[in-house]
Structure 1
Amino acid sequence: MTAVLCTSDFLRAPLLATARAEGFKEWHHFVVHGRGRRLLINFSLTSETSRASEPGLGPRVIVIVGDQRWAGAIERYDDSALEVSADLGAVRIGGNRLTVGPDGYRVVVDLPGHDIRGELDLTSVSRPFVVNNQPVGEGRMCWLFVPRLRARGWLRIGAQEHPIDNDLAYHDHNWGRFWWGDDFAWTWGTVLPQAPDDPWSLVFLQMTDRRRLRTLSQALYVWHHDKPAAIFRHAAVRTRTDGMLRRAADCTLPAPMGLLLDGEASGVPERVEVTANRAGDTVFAEFRPNSYARLAQPSEVCLDRSTVLCETSGTARVSGSINGRSIDFLGAGVFEFLHG
């Protein structure tokens, strides 16, 4: 398992962006499902073009914590603050560091301007899975995800410290060339059980057009212990959403983008149902969000639009049967709703 992780999860930007940087994006995304809270950390590199120079990579670090409410920060760095190791397994952005090790990840967060610091060790307890060349508007994206890790460490925001002691976590690594605001949207969710010894883990993905009228691709990935138990794709998956969450965003990042976003509608459904059936296997998952943060940035294809990504926290109920094994658990979910 560790050999697969080491050979699969490495930084792509120095290799791919050198040849054709326009539209290139890459990020490492971690979600810790702590007891009563969610922690999200994101290291990203985005191709940027200025009038005075060739396209370069703009590094960013995002940290948000969902306790009773989501709070956090986005920090943008100059490309001179970026360092990548020769083996492409470690990246430094200012005082923030991410290292891929033989059995997982080491993450150090240091955002002194926002009074945010932390150190996490995330040990993989499930095999990674790679998806290549997913169409995203006029572009393409690849991703690797690790459905289940064990996290230890701490994160401090201001005077509040969040200890992380053997909590379950999720990781994905995404890279490709596409443009925010192009004709696409997505829903991306991770569900892990509240009981840490329950062996099941779920990852859900749905890609649609920007108006969410056409489903272009969808899949439900189900892991049992460290191995994939079932993968349901396309017509084997049915999705239903109900209502709209009647709650304003806890925060909008970066904060000035809150002045540009119109309306009070959350863009987050009140309930998401995912039903999957294939070859006698069946899974039903229901996710109910209860809070969310908005991450926003200007569209790259239209001057009068913004791309909004809602990170939501909530509860999930999962039931079904795979290979004769029963599934029945309450879980914690983090779903991401992207609107272009």
Structure 2
Amino acid sequence: MTMDERTLASVEQLRIPTNDELAPLDWKDWYHFILMEPKSGVRVLVNLTLSGRLTGGELQLSFIATIPKEFLTAELHQENNLATFGTAYPQRWVAGTVSREPLRLQGQNVSLEIDGRNSQVAVRDEESGLAIAFTASAEATPLLVTEESPFGSGFIGWGLVPGLQVAGELSVGEAKFPIRQDWFCYHDRNFGRFRWGEDIGWEWFVAFATCADGRTLTLVLDRRTNRDHSEWGLSYIFVYLGNQLRKIFLGSTLAINWEWSANGVLPIRLPGVMASVFAHRSVPMPESLRVEAADERDSLSVAVNFDSAMELVVADNRACQYSFIEEVSGNVEVKLLLDGEMLHGWGLIYAEYVV
């Protein structure tokens, strides 16, 4: 049995005060979904964030889709093998934006509902031509990892559900992509009080790989850091076989090595106003990643080549300061020695590197 309903409820519970017009402005509470279709290589991020407080806060959307060029219609044709599209924008947090039981976030052309194991997400952005609507049912073992871990001037907590049964449709321009049960869907939650642009960062990924015998491996990495990633707290990788948590590699058992482009590049940036502000900002971007982990019984090797990148610029709501989230995805090879058995799988990965 993989589902612990009590833990799942703790993961999904909204932490931010919703009716207090004097609540601190540095509150943040977000719902994060990653969808990947292993056969085609399609990858999607949908993130909804409540920030600030009622009448003085925002409901913020980030929606990114990466599509192999052979699936695009003629008007969206690109020379690169992959095309990345996205939209990101805020709406005012007003009365009616949030309901707690069951959870519901509702904005213009944006909605999220979570009731027990079941979720519904719908986003439509006419300007970018992007839309998605899907239902999801939690299947993998949920984890509430931290609740009040120190982070910047405040704290952060998070939990995850790294496997949901999903169905729906993605639209990119005139191209339609049915979302079926062979898609992988990951969901996590972050919440806390801190300010973007502080001395904070993180390294995170979710990887989904399939072995030759059809068994699946899901890996989730998390490492919280300072802004230049010269210091970090406890690092860990959760290892799932199917929907069951089977292993956690921690701390000194892990070696995490990002490899970067030799020269600075101008990535696609969101939201649009930030793309204008930072149009001059040329930066190296992650090109590959190697992770090795081993303890007295088991070992893990992860080899990643990134082939898609976008930068999200997130602004503090009280001062002119920013954090930058490098959103990257690509292909992954996983070798896992677990309880004396070697598992070898290939698949897709979605990662974030925050500075």
The two structures share one fold, judged by TM-score above 0.5: yes
Quote the residue 2:75 is aligned against: none
- 1:19–1:226 CA distance, 2 compared to 1 (3 A): farther
Q: Which amino acid aligns with 1:168?
A: F
User: 1:315, 1:190 → 2: CA distance?
Assistant: 12
Q: Contact 2:21 / 2:56 at 8 angstroms: preserved in 1?
A: no
Quote the residue 1:102 is aligned against: 116
Superimposed CA distance per residue, residues 202-252 of structure 1 (whole angstroms, 9 cap, x where no aligned partner): 000122111111222311110122221111121121111223276845521
Alignment counterpart, residue 351 of structure 2, candidates 315, 335, 338: 335
Quote the residue 1:21 is aligned against: 24
Stretch of structure 1 that moved more, 89-98 or 171-180: 89-98
**Structure 2: 5+ residue runs without aligned partners?**
68-81
1:16 shift after superposition: 9.5
User: 2:101, 2:268 → 1: CA distance?
Assistant: 37
Are residues 1:255 and 2:257 paired? no
Quote the residue 1:204 is aligned against: 221
User: 2:350, 2:304 → 1: CA distance?
Assistant: 9
**Structure 1: 5+ residue runs without aligned partners?**
49-53
1:146 shift after superposition: 1.0
User: 2:313, 2:96 → 1: CA distance?
Assistant: 23
Q: Contact 1:2 / 1:102 at 8 angstroms: preserved in 2?
A: no
Q: Contact 2:210 / 2:217 at 8 angstroms: preserved in 1?
A: no
Q: Contact 1:99 / 1:106 at 8 angstroms: preserved in 2?
A: yes
Superimposed CA distance per residue, residues 297-339 of structure 1 (whole angstroms, 9 cap, x where no aligned partner): 3356874x53111111111111021223322111200011111
TM-score calculated relative to the size of structure 1: 0.89
1:137 shift after superposition: 1.7
Alignment of 1:116-265 (within 5 A): 116-132=130-146, 133-166=148-181, 167-194=183-210, 197-244=214-261, 248=265, 251-261=268-278, 262-265=280-283
Q: Contact 2:11 / 2:158 at 8 angstroms: preserved in 1?
A: no
Report the secondary structure of 1:216's partner residue. coil
Superimposed CA distance per residue, residues 52-78 of structure 1 (whole angstroms, 9 cap, x where no aligned partner): xx8732111221101112111113112
1:88 shift after superposition: 4.7
Are residues 1:314 and 2:311 paired? no
Are residues 1:87 and 2:87 paired? no
Superimposed CA distance per residue, residues 152-179 of structure 1 (whole angstroms, 9 cap, x where no aligned partner): 1102232222221120111111100011
1:120 shift after superposition: 0.5
1:284 shift after superposition: 1.1
Quote the residue 2:42 is aligned against: 37
Q: Contact 1:59 / 1:82 at 8 angstroms: preserved in 2?
A: no
Let me know the Cα RMSD of the aligned residues. Answer: 2.5
User: 2:140, 2:318 → 1: CA distance?
Assistant: 38
TM-score calculated relative to the size of structure 2: 0.85
User: 2:121, 2:295 → 1: CA distance?
Assistant: 38
Q: Contact 1:81 / 1:94 at 8 angstroms: preserved in 2?
A: no
Report the secondary structure of 1:8's partner residue. helix
User: 2:65, 2:102 → 1: CA distance?
Assistant: 28
Q: Contact 1:135 / 1:141 at 8 angstroms: preserved in 2?
A: yes
User: 2:168, 2:264 → 1: CA distance?
Assistant: 31
Q: Contact 1:17 / 1:24 at 8 angstroms: preserved in 2?
A: no
- Once the two structures are aligned, what percentage of the paired residues are identical? 22
1:125 shift after superposition: 2.3
User: 2:133, 2:312 → 1: CA distance?
Assistant: 23
User: 1:147, 1:158 → 2: CA distance?
Assistant: 29
- 1:249–1:129 CA distance, 2 compared to 1 (3 A): farther
User: 2:343, 2:319 → 1: CA distance?
Assistant: 45
How many residues end up aligned between the 2 structures?
A: 332
Superimposed CA distance per residue, residues 264-312 of structure 1 (whole angstroms, 9 cap, x where no aligned partner): 223x322211111223111111221111111113356874x53111111
1:113 shift after superposition: 4.2
Alignment of 1:65-80 (within 5 A): 65-67=65-67, 68-80=82-94
Superimposed CA distance per residue, residues 23-51 of structure 1 (whole angstroms, 9 cap, x where no aligned partner): 11111010101232101111111117xxx
Q: Contact 1:143 / 1:172 at 8 angstroms: preserved in 2?
A: yes
Q: Which amino acid aligns with 2:342?
A: S
1:144 shift after superposition: 1.1
User: 2:108, 2:231 → 1: CA distance?
Assistant: 41
Stretch of structure 1 that moved more, 109-118 or 290-299: 109-118
Report the secondary structure of 1:256's partner residue. helix
Quote the residue 1:51 is aligned against: none
Report the secondary structure of 1:32's partner residue. strand
Q: Which amino acid aligns with 2:234?
A: S
User: 1:285, 1:192 → 2: CA distance?
Assistant: 11
- 1:238–1:79 CA distance, 2 compared to 1 (3 A): same
